[in-house]
Amino acid sequence: MTAAETDELARLRGELLAARLEVRELRARNDELQRRIDAEHASAVAFAQQVVDLRDSRSWKLTAPLRVVMRRGRG
């Protein structure tokens, strides 16, 4: 193997190592972003359930006529 080939091989090995490190960093970042997405999704589901629970509540149903009157008063 010539000196030029040895140098080229060393350069390519360096590039490969750098690419592998970048892939590792990107996978870690992707994992973190996926955890954040999962947490936000869980939060959205919980809030949606709170809205459903509120609208199914007795107090929401009992105050429905008041909300109708208030809307008419604003409009």
* In the chain, where the domains are located: 3-74
Q: How confident is the model over 6-18, as pLDDT tens digits?
A: 999 999 999 999 9
pLDDT value, residue 74: 86
Confidence of residue 53 (pLDDT cuts 50, 70, 90): very high
Question: Rounded to 5 degrees, what angle do the CA atoms 12, 14, 15 make?
Answer: 65
pLDDT at residue 58 greater than cutoff 80: yes
Report the sign of the C-alpha dihedral through residues 29, 32, 37, 40, in that order.
negative
As a whole number of angstroms, the distance between CA 60 and CA 51 comes to 11
Mean pLDDT of 27-39: 98
Question: What percentage of the chain exceeds 90 in pLDDT?
Answer: 95
Q: What is the mean pLDDT of the chain?
A: 96
